[in-house]
Amino acid sequence: MTSSRMTRSDLLLPKSGRWHLAAVAFAAICALLVLGCSTTASAGPNSDTVVVQNITDETFDPQGEVQAATPPPAPTAAPAAPAPATGVDLQAIKPNELGTIPILEYHMIVAAEEDQWAITPDHFRQDLQRLYDAGYRPINLNDFLDGRIDIPAGTSPVALTFDDSSPGQFRFLERDGQLVVDPESAVGIMEAFEAAHLDFKARGTFNVLPEAEQPNKLFGQPEYEAEKLRYLVDHGFEIGNHSWWHQRLDIVDDEEVQRQLAFAVKSIQQAVPGYNVRTLALPLGMWPAAQALAIQGAFDGSSYGHDAVLLVGSDPAPSPYSKDYDPYYLERVQSFGDSVERWITYLEQHPDEHYISDGDPSTVTFPKVLESQLNTGALGNQTARAY
pLDDT in tens, 326-343: 999 999 999 999 999 999
- Cα dist. 217→37, 63, 190, 223, 226 in Å? 33, 35, 22, 11, 11
In a domain, 18, yes or no: no
pLDDT along the chain (387 residues), means of 10: 41 36 40 38 47 38 38 46 66 97 98 92 98 98 97 98 98 96 98 98 98 97 98 98 98 98 98 98 98 98 98 94 98 96 98 97 97 96 96
CB 331, CB 63: distance < 8 Å: no
| pTM (whole model) above 0.85 | no
In a domain, 71, yes or no: no
| Per-residue confidence (pLDDT) for residue 37, from 0 to 100 | 36
Paired sense of beta strands 296-299 and 279-281, if any: unpaired
Residues of the domain holding 357: 80-386
Query: Which DSSP string do the residues of 75-102 spell out, in sequence order?
Result: PP-PPPEEPPP-SS-HHHH--BTTSBB-
In a domain, 290, yes or no: yes
The CATH number of the domain where 304 resides is what?
Answer: 3.20.20.370
In a domain, 288, yes or no: yes
| Per-residue confidence (pLDDT) for residue 2, from 0 to 100 | 44
Residues 6+ apart with CB under 8 A from 134: 156, 344, 348
| Per-residue confidence (pLDDT) for residue 353, from 0 to 100 | 98
In a domain, 111, yes or no: yes
- Cα dist. 88→7, 92, 119, 158, 365 in Å? 52, 8, 39, 22, 11
Amino acid letter, 349: Q
Amino acid letter, 381: N
Rounded CA separation 264/252 (Å): 16
| Per-residue confidence (pLDDT) for residue 73, from 0 to 100 | 44
Domain count, the chain: 1
| Per-residue confidence (pLDDT) for residue 313, from 0 to 100 | 80
In a domain, 46, yes or no: no
In the sheet with 383-386, reading across from the earlier edge strand, the strands are 81-82, 383-386, 363-366
Amino acid letter, 311: L
Strand segments (E) across the chain? 81-82, 103-106, 108-109, 118-119, 136-138, 156-163, 172-175, 178-181, 205-208, 238-241, 279-281, 296-299, 302-305, 308-310, 333-334, 363-366, 383-386
Mean pLDDT value across the chain:
85
Q: How far is CA 264 from the centre of its chain?
A: 18
Rounded CA separation 278/292 (Å): 15
In a domain, 201, yes or no: yes
| Per-residue confidence (pLDDT) for residue 182, from 0 to 100 | 98
Amino acid letter, 64: G
In a domain, 256, yes or no: yes
